[in-house]
């Protein structure tokens, strides 16, 4: 016997919900790239408030529900704290350019490597698995703290979490794929990387994670192609670099928005860059830094073995220069280039000290 | 046989690239950028829109001001890369775009404007750009002697 409620013949439908809509008669049209988030920014639905009082999880543009209680913990309710102008575009790009660590990496091309090379590759894989945990955990925390009115930025962060999850698994797979395994944890999640998760607001987090942290890792991923010994490692690093470049783009575009809309925060943001630059080559946060647990395997991979360590170390120094050059240009692009003109930044001095060490 | 570099060569590659579904997955996909190609003193501009390389045209040095980034090698270096791709069906270990960018004193990918956000498009769309040049393995190329 069915447990469904039986309605009497004189039952009248309420239908009150039919009168409570957002703007009606909306006809979003798909463009060349399909029906994207940008295509549905139609009329009122496309209006992003500078301040949001939405504490109820109400989708932007929908009719409010009376008597609703507070949902979530939306600390981020000021647009400038999280916004970037191309969030929709980057989100669609993230969806379109996904890849599978199981099937898009030609694992069959991996062949036995000399022990020192395999150990160095596994140490890098261990380190990258370690730091990608942070890169996934931190954005995830901010998703839930952001009002649904800024859903474009939220969704982009959610896509980033998926990317970082894949990075965690692909490096773990590499460690397990060729007779090696995971090596020692490097402690990279303490110090500067660990401090990312202590950020008090999103912009502080983004300066540390997207521009400083991921910018440095982006160079390492790209360099990964230079220290790859087979097509599988090439693909693994190249595909991770693509994702990482998108995350860096989030940071640059957010900082650019902040630079234009919140000049009162310039000094504060410069402090985050001061902090990042002071630690960029020290500690174990940056694999191209000076900690032996990472700089040695990198030099071994770049040189082609322990016997060619010096050759590899020269390449590592060149890598550091490129890493810092790219960092500086990103900070300029983000609207904070004055620090390299007015003597505030010590990044060149730090680089020269590291090269001489 | 199609001569490299020429608009005809890029058009032949575009035709393969634009009709190959496998290039739309596996880390490929929609790509929106304008890339310059500098072969010695010859300049070409490729426009990528969505899943396609929408256009290739001959250009002048001044046009490089407008592109997001450009790839700069001498003709013999381009020839070595294209021949390697032809032999392997795709770029071999030493000839992927990213490897070439890193493993030389002068960068492969650069720009006139110096805006790292736009230069980063070379990294963001690297697999698509690699697929594009890997598509050249399916055409016969001749090089000026």
Q: Which residue has the higher pLDDT, B97 or A197?
A: B97
CA distance A205 to A153: 14
Query: Does A311 touch chain B if contact means CB atoms closer than 8 Å?
Result: no
Rounded-to-integer distance, Cα B66 and Cα B36, Å: 9
CB contact under 8 A, B116 and A223: no
Mutant choice from A226, A228, A230 vs B, greatest count of B C-beta within 10 A: A226
pLDDT value of position A355: 65
| CATH number of the domain where residue A236 is located | 1.10.620.20
User: Is there a contact between A230 and B93 if contact means CB atoms under 8 Å apart?
Assistant: yes
- In 3D space, the residue among A237, A229, A233, A221 whose CA is nearest the CA of residue A113 turns out to be A229
Q: With an 8 Å Cβ cutoff, is A233 touching chain B?
A: no
Q: Check CB contact under 8 Å for A249 and B98.
A: no
At A319 the pLDDT is: 82
**How many structural domains does chain A have?**
1
B36/B43 Cα distance (integer angstroms): 7
Of the candidates B96, B116, B127, the beta carbon closest to that of A242 is on B127
pTM: 0.92
Give the separation between CA A41 and CA A23, rounded to whole angstroms. Answer: 12
Q: Is the dihedral of CA A242, A246, A251, A255 positive or negative?
A: positive
Which pair of tokens denotes residue B23?
Answer: 């290039």
For A263, residues 6+ apart whose C-beta sits below 8 A from its C-beta are none
A104 touches chain B (CB under 8 A): yes
B→A interface, C-beta within 8 Å: 25-30, 49-50, 93, 96, 98-99, 101-103, 114-117, 119-121, 123-127, 130
CATH topology of domain B2-136: Nonspecific Lipid-transfer Protein; Chain A (3.30.1050)
Contact criterion met (CB < 8 Å) for A104 and B123: no
CA distance A332 to B117: 10
Return the residue in B55, B116, B130, B133 with the most chain A beta carbons within 10 A, the one to mutate for interface testing: B116
Residue A301 lies in a domain: yes
Q: What is the mean pLDDT of residues B50-61?
A: 96
Q: A326 and chain B: CB distance < 8 Å anywhere?
A: yes
**DSSP string over A127-175:** HHHHHHHHHHHHHHHHHTTB-GGGHHHHHHHHHHHHHHHHHHHHHHHHH
Question: Is A180 within 8 Å of A188 (Cβ atoms)?
Answer: no
Mean pLDDT on B20-46:
96
User: CA A50, A160, A30, A46: dihedral to nearest 10 degrees?
Assistant: -10
CA–CA separation, A197 and A189 (whole Å): 10
User: What residues in B contact A238, CB-CB < 8 Å?
Assistant: 27, 96, 98, 126-127, 130
In a domain, A283, yes or no: yes
Q: What is the pLDDT of residue A128?
A: 92
Give yes or no for A84 touching B (CB within 8 A). Answer: no
- How close does chain B come to A76, measured CA to CA in Å? 26
Residue closest to A220 by CA, chosen among A204, A200, A244, A203: A244
Candidate from A100, A234, A248 with C-beta closest to B120: A248
Chain B within 8 Å of A222 (Cβ-Cβ)? yes
Q: What is the mean pLDDT of residues B114-142?
A: 97
Q: Which domain, by its residues, includes A251?
A: 80-356
B78-107 average pLDDT score: 93
A175: which 2 tokens?
Answer: 């460690």
Which residues in chain A are contacts of B125 at CB distance < 8 A?
242
Please report whether residue A3 resides in a domain. no
The helix (run of H) or strand (run of E) holding residue A274 is helix A266-279
Q: What mean pLDDT is predicted for residues B24-37?
A: 95
Q: What is the pLDDT along chain A (357 residues), one digit of tens a residue?
A: 567 777 777 888 999 889 888 899 999 999 888 999 999 999 999 999 999 999 999 999 999 888 888 887 899 999 999 999 999 999 999 999 999 999 999 999 999 999 999 999 999 999 999 988 888 888 898 999 999 999 999 999 999 999 999 999 999 999 999 999 999 988 766 666 667 778 888 888 888 888 888 888 888 898 899 899 999 999 999 999 999 999 999 999 999 999 999 999 999 999 989 988 887 766 555 666 667 888 899 999 999 999 999 999 998 888 888 888 888 999 999 999 999 999 999 888 877 776 665
Residue A220 in any domain: the answer is yes
Task: Give the integer Cα–Cα distance in Å for A71 and A55.
Answer: 6
The enclosing H or E element of B45 equals strand B42-49
**Subunit contact A329:B101, Cβ cutoff 8 A:** no
Does the pLDDT value for residue B130 go beyond 90?
yes
């Amino acid at each position: 016997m069915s447990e469904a409620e039986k309605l009497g013949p004189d039952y009248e439908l309420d239908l009150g919900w039919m009168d409570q809509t957002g703007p009606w008669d909306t006809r979003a049209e798909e463009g060349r790239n399909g029906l994207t988030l940008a295509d549905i920014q139609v009329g009122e639905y496309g209006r992003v408030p500078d301040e949001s009082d939405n504490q109820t999880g109400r989708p932007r543009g929908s009719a409010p529900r009376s008597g609703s209680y507070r949902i979530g913990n939306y600390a981020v309710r000021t647009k400038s704290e999280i916004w970037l102008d191309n969030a929709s575009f980057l989100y669609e790009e993230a969806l379109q350019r996904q890849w599978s660590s199981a099937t898009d990496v030609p694992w069959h091309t991996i062949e036995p490597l000399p022990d020192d090379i395999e150990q160095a590759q596994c140490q890098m894989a261990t380190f990258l698995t370690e730091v990608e945990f942070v890169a996934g955990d931190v954005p995830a925390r901010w998703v839930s703290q952001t009002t649904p009115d800024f859903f474009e930025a939220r969704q982009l962060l959610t896509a980033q979490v998926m990317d970082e999850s894949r990075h965690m698994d692909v490096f773990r797979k590499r460690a397990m794929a060729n007779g090696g395994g995971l090596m020692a944890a490097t402690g990279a999640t303490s110090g500067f990387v660990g401090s990312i998760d202590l950020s008090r607001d999103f912009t502080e987090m983004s300066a540390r994670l997207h521009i400083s942290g991921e910018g440095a890792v982006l160079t390492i991923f790209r360099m990964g192609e230079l220290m790859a010994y087979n097509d599988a490692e090439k693909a693994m690093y190249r595909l991770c670099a693509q994702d990482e470049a998108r995350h860096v783009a989030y940071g640059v575009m957010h900082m650019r928005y902040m630079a234009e809309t919140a000049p009162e925060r310039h000094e504060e943001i410069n402090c985050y860059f001061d902090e990042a630059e002071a630690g960029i080559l020290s500690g174990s946060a940056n694999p191209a830094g000076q900690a032996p647990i990472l700089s040695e395997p990198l030099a071994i991979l770049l040189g082609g073995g322990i016997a060619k360590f010096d050759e590899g170390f020269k390449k590592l120094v060149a890598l550091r220069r490129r890493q810092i050059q790219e960092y500086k240009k990103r900070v300029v692009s983000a609207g904070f280039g004055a620090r390299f003109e007015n003597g505030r930044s010590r990044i060149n001095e730090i680089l020269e000290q590291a090269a001489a060490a | 046989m199609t001569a490299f570099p020429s608009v005809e060569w890029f058009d032949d590659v575009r035709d393969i690239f634009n009709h190959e579904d496998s290039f739309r997955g596996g880390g490929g996909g929609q790509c929106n950028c304008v890339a310059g190609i500098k072969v010695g003193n010859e300049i070409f501009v490729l426009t990528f829109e969505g899943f396609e390389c929408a256009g290739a045209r001959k250009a002048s040095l001044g046009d490089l001001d407008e592109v997001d980034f450009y790839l700069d090698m001498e003709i013999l270096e381009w020839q070595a890369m294209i021949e390697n791709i032809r032999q392997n069906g795709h770029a071999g270990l030493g000839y992927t775009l990213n490897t070439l960018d890193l493993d030389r004193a002068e960068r492969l990918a650069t720009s006139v404007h110096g805006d790292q956000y736009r230069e980063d498009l070379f990294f963001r769309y690297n697999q698509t750009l690699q697929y594009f040049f890997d598509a050249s393995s399916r055409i016969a190329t001749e090089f000026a002697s």
